[in-house]
Amino acid sequence: MGGQGYAKVVLAGALDLIAAQGGGVVEGYPHETGEKRMSNSFVYNGTRTMYEQAGFGFVRSKGMKNTVMRRTIQPA
């Protein structure tokens, strides 16, 4: 898997586990990359786009290149 493949799989797995445990509000702190390509070592939390594709909503910026994203997960 290239690019964000592993991060997407890990995020999906975590959301499944959270749903299995009763769900709840989940926050993530992905990187804001914009149009610029960044090294994978700098986007270890995933990207804002990846979180948006997983149903997270933007809450606010956090520092220069990070964001706060939130999603409510329903129980499985």
Structural domains in the chain (count): 1
Record the pTM.
0.81
Domain holding 41, by residue range, is 5-73
> pLDDT for 37-58, tens place per residue?
655 555 567 889 999 999 999 9
Burial of 8 (0-12, 13-18, 19+ CB in 10 A): middle
- Cα first-last separation, the chain: 28
The length of the chain is 76
Tell me: pLDDT of 64 over 60.
yes
